[in-house]
Amino acid sequence: MGSTTRIIYQPYVAGARGALKAGPPLTCVTLDDGMRRAERAFANGSILGAQIVRVTHDDESEEFADPEYLGAIGQVPDAA
């Protein structure tokens, strides 16, 4: 088989007591597409921040590789 790679736009919105809460993730065609979505949503105030992440899924083992953080805007959770 092989592997599948996706670019994910992960927005963050205000949660309880001002904490960041993850919104619904969206698959993007390219990094630029994800950054445009993030910049547009951040500029109009609909999100507090966003991350653009590349994830790779091994189709044979059904496992995901560690995510690769490609970009961020605004408030995002601290990386562990």
Tens-digit pLDDT profile for residues 7-56: 999 999 999 988 899 999 999 999 999 999 999 999 999 999 999 999 99
Are the CB atoms for 9 and 30 separated by under 8 Å? no
Domain residue extents for the chain:
1-10+18-56
* 52 DSSP β-pair partners: 9, 71
Are the CB atoms for 38 and 11 separated by under 8 Å? yes
Whole-prediction pTM: 0.84
